[in-house]
Chains A and B, each alone.
Chain A
Amino acid sequence: MKKTSVSEAHAAYLRRIRRDARIVLISRIAVLFGFLLLWELGADLRWFDPFILSSPSRVFQTIARLYADGSLWLHVGTTLLETVLGFLLGTLLGALFAVLLWWLPKLNRVLDPYLVVLNALPKIALGPVLIVWIGAGTASIVVMGVLVSLVVTTVTVLNGFLAATDEKQLLMRTLGATKLQIFLKVVLPAGVPDLISALKISVGMSWVGVIVGEYLVSKAGLGYLIVYGGQVFKLDLVMASVTVLCVLAALMYYAVAFLEKKVCS
């Protein structure tokens, strides 16, 4: 439709949509700044003890100090590396495992109850076992990140594969397709959206795994900073680390969401 052919009513409708979008955006920013302002004010006016609850300015100063002495990048880098590794390995292995289970329905039936139990089990309960088996170091933390995202990826992707198979199997058989053709031409492409939604879930899961891993064993990383800060009662450090973590987790989530948009369009 050309711009000139837009009727008055339609123009008003478009204006209303744009205004609503603006109101939502402004409100979002207002919530953030309102929260920071109340937090800061509360600390300055001693509504609560800033030693316990910290304050935005103290958080900012802490981050600036960490940045100045160069340790910010060490901790961020460590955690980020562990998370990305855990995330990539977890989703890759999870997806491969889903392919294997799709290909071998008997194996799927045999392993199904175990998969259910593993999926229900809080994987971080295995933390101490991993430390004993693998050793107190980065490897344990990465494995934790992998474990947490692996099972959920397998389950999500496999379900996507199976749904696509049910739908189109008959068609492909009437066309005389082999199993490999069914997988490559139907099941895999149809499974891509499930694969992406599995990515979105497991990106959050990997953060959980890695941070808990760092709680248990580490000499660097944001999880380490949080635990250390808690132990020596430096709540500024804890809050600063959590803030950095928020930003990183959000960035990684939006990166995956961006990928989704790219793939789906």
Chain B
Amino acid sequence: MQSELMHLSDVSLAYHTVAGETTAIQNLDLTVYEGEFLAIVGPSGCGKTTVLSLIMGLLEPTAGSVRLAREHLRLGYMLQRDHLLDHRTVEKNVLLGLEVQHRLTEESRARAMALLDTYGLGEFRSFRPQQLSGGMRQKVALIRTLALEPDLLLLDEPFSALDYQTRLNLSDEVYRIIRKEHKSAILVTHDISEAVSMADRVAVFSARPARLKALIGIGFPAGLSPLERRRQPAFHDYFDRIWKELQP
């Protein structure tokens, strides 16, 4: 029923440093389907972020291939830190991606501003990033990514720099936004709870070189928010399964 959006087939990647050659990823096969929320968990430094860089095209695989469903599949990347530019207002930060890609039109601007309004940041559009809290900044960063109308969102530990409470609230909200905008997403995280609370499927990576150890389907009743999922009895079973998979 689902069509493939992105497919990594037999991908390997080796890093070269003066000290030597490190295999970051080995023979990785992974598919993301249209409308799916996939989480990738793994020990830190195992090459999770590298997978996103490969999909984004920032890195070329040493072997294997990255296949996108359409040639002009739009990708949106959200980083661990918000990287908002201090010299721009919230509004101008949100429009940065459109500007860079020469896609800033009256229409795309209006859409970006509507996103700001919808997600409670409309009144802050003329503020500077320094005036916002960490959670709000990260939300602006998400809207900057969404303004590009990506088909696939790549989320690289977007909540890890936030305090616990903000993190729970924001992941709830980001989840809602992604569902509402009908986006597909890949979330990279080292937080098992976060993965279980947000994803449709969780890919468990081994320590470096990263290999796919397990793919676990998460089956919660539809329409539950991440916070509600955390209260489900099944939540802990999923947690334990992933926890066991992560053990070396």
Which residues of A are interface residues toward B (Cβ below 8 A)?
167-168, 170-177, 181, 185-186, 189-190, 192
Q: Are A185 and B79 in contact (CB under 8 A)?
A: no
Q: Are B97 and A190 in contact (CB under 8 A)?
A: no
A-B contact pairs, 27 of them (CB 8 A): A167-B83, A168-B85, A170-B79, A170-B83, A171-B79, A171-B83, A172-B100, A173-B58, A174-B58, A174-B77, A174-B79, A175-B96, A175-B97, A175-B100, A175-B101, A175-B148, A176-B100, A177-B100, A185-B85, A185-B96, A185-B100, A189-B85, A189-B88, A190-B85, A190-B86, A190-B87, A192-B87
Residues of B close to A192: CB separation below 8 A: 87
Interface assignment of B99: CB less than 8 Å from any CB of chain A = yes
Most buried by B among A172, A174, A177, A192: A174
* B104 CB, min distance to chain A CBs, angstroms: 12
- Cβ-closest 6 pairs across A and B: A174-B77, A171-B83, A189-B87, A177-B100, A175-B97, A175-B100
Most buried by B among A171, A176, A189: A171
Cα(A174)–Cα(B49), bound, Å: 13
Residues of A close to B58: CB separation below 8 A: 173-174
Which residues of B are interface residues toward A (Cβ below 8 A)?
56, 58, 77, 79, 83, 85-88, 96-97, 99-101, 148
Q: Are B100 and A181 in contact (CB under 8 A)?
A: yes
* B229 CB, min distance to chain A CBs, angstroms: 29
Q: B98 — nearest CB in chain A belongs to which residue?
A: A175
Residues of A close to B83: CB separation below 8 A: 167-168, 170-171
Q: A171 — nearest CB in chain B belongs to which residue?
A: B83
Cα(A34)–Cα(B97), bound, Å: 61
Q: A177 — nearest CB in chain B belongs to which residue?
A: B100
Cα(A167)–Cα(B83), bound, Å: 8
Residues of A close to B56: CB separation below 8 A: 174
A-B pair count, CB < 8 Å, reads 35
Residues of B close to A186: CB separation below 8 A: 85
* B233 CB, min distance to chain A CBs, angstroms: 39
Cα(A189)–Cα(B86), bound, Å: 9
Name 9 extra pairs, CB < 8 A, besides A174-B58, A185-B85, A189-B87. Answer: A174-B77, A174-B79, A175-B148, A176-B100, A181-B100, A185-B96, A185-B100, A186-B85, A190-B85
Residues of B close to A174: CB separation below 8 A: 56, 58, 77, 79
Cα(A98)–Cα(B81), bound, Å: 28
Residues of A close to B88: CB separation below 8 A: 189
* B92 CB, min distance to chain A CBs, angstroms: 10
Residues of A close to B85: CB separation below 8 A: 168, 185-186, 189-190
* B243 CB, min distance to chain A CBs, angstroms: 31
Cα(A201)–Cα(B155), bound, Å: 43
Residues of A close to B96: CB separation below 8 A: 175, 185
Q: A186 — nearest CB in chain B belongs to which residue?
A: B85
Q: A168 — nearest CB in chain B belongs to which residue?
A: B83
Cα(A175)–Cα(B100), bound, Å: 7
* A181 CB, min distance to chain B CBs, angstroms: 5
* A197 CB, min distance to chain B CBs, angstroms: 16
Residues of B close to A189: CB separation below 8 A: 85, 87-88
Cα(A171)–Cα(B58), bound, Å: 11
Q: Which of B79, B86, B101 contacts A176 (CB 8 A)?
A: B101
Cα(A181)–Cα(B98), bound, Å: 12
Cα(A234)–Cα(B28), bound, Å: 86
Residues of B close to A176: CB separation below 8 A: 100-101
Residues of A close to B87: CB separation below 8 A: 189-190, 192
Residues of B close to A181: CB separation below 8 A: 100
* A192 CB, min distance to chain B CBs, angstroms: 7
Cα(A189)–Cα(B101), bound, Å: 19
* A190 CB, min distance to chain B CBs, angstroms: 7
* A254 CB, min distance to chain B CBs, angstroms: 25
Q: A173 — nearest CB in chain B belongs to which residue?
A: B58
Q: A181 — nearest CB in chain B belongs to which residue?
A: B100
Residues of B close to A177: CB separation below 8 A: 100
Cα(A235)–Cα(B117), bound, Å: 71
Q: A182 — nearest CB in chain B belongs to which residue?
A: B100
* B83 CB, min distance to chain A CBs, angstroms: 4
Residues of A close to B97: CB separation below 8 A: 175
Cα(A171)–Cα(B100), bound, Å: 11
Residues of B close to A173: CB separation below 8 A: 58
Residues of B close to A185: CB separation below 8 A: 85, 96, 99-100
Q: B76 — nearest CB in chain A belongs to which residue?
A: A174
Residues of A close to B148: CB separation below 8 A: 175
Cα(A223)–Cα(B148), bound, Å: 61
Residues of A close to B100: CB separation below 8 A: 172, 175-177, 181, 185
